[in-house]
Structure 1
Amino acid sequence: MFKYAAKTMVLVSLTTLLIVTGCSKETSSSDSSIGKQVNHEIIGIDPGAGLMKQTAQVLKDYDLKDWKLIEGSSAAMAAALDKAYKDKKPIIVTGWTPHWMFAKYELKYLNDPKGVFGKDEQIHTIVRNGFKKDALSAYTMLDRFEWKAEEMAVVMSDIVEGKKPEEAAAEWVKKNGTKVDNWVKDLTKEKGKKLKLAYVAWDSEIASTNVVKIVLEEKLGYKVEMLQVEAGPMWAGISDGSADAMVAAWLPTTHKDYFDKYAGKFEDLGANLNGTKLGLVVPKYMNVDSIEDLKTK
């Protein structure tokens, strides 16, 4: 009887030890720094984007010496986020609004108490000098072009779900006849006249540029060519006249360097969308709320 009781006590002790050890390991794992959880990596987009420059500045201003900003593309960033989110794994990405990912996933921006990412931005329409004289109807339509983030999100979401960009844009134009009619009201058709629209391969700009293309072609008779380039060549193209217009200028922060560099070589028609935001984005299931929390303690 004593031997049995002794054996039972030993087994209970060992079991308790294993449970405690297991809990300790789990607690240790959950208490590990955010940096260790994500290998001190922030998943970025294309290296020419202003968002990448601002994020690099964030690493300096917040003294995140152990961190690395990974260059890639908006598509690669979205794919990495999708994979991590499905597996409920931690990840930090460079993000912006409007973007379809905020409709698909539960995400949050990390607080930026130093204000490195700046205030909310606008997306502006920029045209080459002399464009008004050469294509008055297109110029006027682009000057009138303005929509809301939630309207852009409809087109972006349709594209993500598998529709071709031109198809998603055409459907949006068809369903929003009143708004579109106001953009082209009393304008003369210029059938067959060629135009070139430059844009960067961000989901937001793919959506907006395709919508503008559909309106210019279907409502005003233009033949529009879309030029997909990076941010630098996009601004250079407008400035040297090799492109006519873009609806993809993020101001006053993201594209500030290009705006200043080519000042006087383009015309700014003002905002076509208000209320954009830039920053570091994480899934809501992550226990981190501020960029300051990323610093190794």
Structure 2
Amino acid sequence: MLKKNWKKIALAAGLSLTMLTAACGQNESGEGGSEGSGEGSGSNGSSGEESGESSGEQTESSANVGEAVDYTIVGIEPGAGVTAATNTALSEYDNLSGWEQKTSSTAAMLSELRTAYSNEEPIVIVGWNPHFKFAQWDLKYLKDPKNAYGEAEEIRTMVRTGLEEDMPGVYTILDRFKWTLEDSESFLLEAQEKDIETVAQEWVDNNQDKVDEWINGVESVDGKSVELALTPWDSERASSNVVKLALEQKGYDVTLTPVDPSIVFESLANGDVDGSTAAWMPKTHGSFYEEHKENIVDLGPNLEGALTGLAVPTYMDIESIEDLEPAE
């Protein structure tokens, strides 16, 4: 369990983020949509349709993008891994000289995106999927020739050292837990209209065969406590609530604790929580993992094909980060 003083700090950080980003599902948009790449996104850096122009042959519209957006990338929370990757991009791309990343919250970024999109105005945002914005709006990732955001990522399950010996049933279920990008996206589509806990129960009810693959042969217990740490983003709230219900089918009493990404890894390394299904690897949370990996057990991916990068509406006539002009 989280130590009392540490938990107060962690929960304060997690609660503030949760209040800002719980809207990433039913409250952040106020509109329907599914998570994931949707139309016009494809793989990281893919634009759907090629412009036929090289990065050195910029159109008048692409040359004016920087001025139109005030040389600003609209970001999310300062503690997010994709925020750090965007800072890397700003330092590695010479053509981003004079640009800045505006950090705030996921909900604030989506509000700006919604306004810009409704007026067909240019905007450059920090993007990731699974996330419903790619289905709600026609967006595309900008190509990333310098690979500042890395390749497609995995969302991994990690546990504290000693969990296999202390609670082999929990270890087994967490180790077996796998779902697909399609699973996650269909879940998050439903979560635009309902709360995540309700959707989690419906998903488990409709996919008991998958849940059985995770829990079969695991010995039942009588209310043994388990604590899982998670980031407060909807894709991780989704997976954590599904795993919670699977563990509860075997009699475990499960607590979900949303915290900042860095605290997920710190709490695992300290043994303050038992596990997490929220680790984006190898890029997004890679630095946190490297700091604590000697005291964490990596159980491998529970979801493959996650993406991060800079994204723009498809009506913008740019295809690559290198199409952006430096500030004068």
Shorter chain as normaliser: what TM range?
0.7 to 0.9
Match of 2:110 in 1: 78
Distance 1:129 1:281 in 2: 38
Does structure 1 retain, via aligned residues, the 8 Å contact 2:63–2:323? no
Secondary structure of residue in 2 paired with 1:264: helix
Instruction: Tell me if 1:162 matches 2:193.
Output: yes
Does structure 2 retain, via aligned residues, the 8 Å contact 1:196–1:243? yes
> What is the root-mean-square deviation of aligned Cα atoms in Å?
1.7
Match of 1:272 in 2: 302
Deviations 1:166-202 (A, max 9, x none): 1111111111111111111111112211111111112
Instruction: Tell me if 1:123 matches 2:155.
Output: yes
Distance 1:286 1:31 in 2: 8
Greater mean deviation of Cα atoms: 149-158 or 137-146: 149-158
Greater relative CO, 1 or 2 (CA 8 Å, sep 6+): 2
Does structure 2 retain, via aligned residues, the 8 Å contact 1:141–1:184? yes
Instruction: Tell me if 1:52 matches 2:79.
Output: no
Distance 1:76 1:202 in 2: 14
Of 108, 111, 123, the residue aligned with 1:91 is 123
Distance 1:285 1:38 in 2: 15
Percent identical residues: 41
Secondary structure of residue in 1 paired with 2:199: helix
Instruction: Tell me if 1:177 matches 2:208.
Output: yes
Counting only pairs closer than 5 Å after superposition, residues 97-112 of structure 1 correspond to structure 2 as: 97-112=129-144
Deviations 1:225-264 (A, max 9, x none): 1111111111101111111110011111111111110021
Secondary structure of residue in 2 paired with 1:156: helix
Distance 1:138 1:200 in 2: 20
Does structure 2 retain, via aligned residues, the 8 Å contact 1:199–1:229? yes
Deviations 1:51-85 (A, max 9, x none): 11111111111121221101122222223222222
Q: Which amino acid aligns with 1:226?
A: L
Does structure 2 retain, via aligned residues, the 8 Å contact 1:54–1:116? yes
**Structure 1 unaligned runs (5+)?**
1-28
Counting only pairs closer than 5 Å after superposition, residues 9-20 of structure 1 correspond to structure 2 as: none
Match of 2:169 in 1: 137
Q: Which amino acid aligns with 1:83?
A: T
Distance 1:37 1:174 in 2: 48
> TM-score, normalising length from structure 2?
0.78
Secondary structure of residue in 2 paired with 1:287: coil
Distance 1:51 1:279 in 2: 8
> TM-score, normalising length from structure 1?
0.86
Instruction: Tell me if 1:36 matches 2:70.
Output: no
Does structure 1 retain, via aligned residues, the 8 Å contact 2:181–2:303? yes
Which structure has the larger Rg over C-alpha atoms? Answer: 1
Secondary structure of residue in 1 paired with 2:77: coil
Instruction: Tell me if 1:198 matches 2:229.
Output: yes
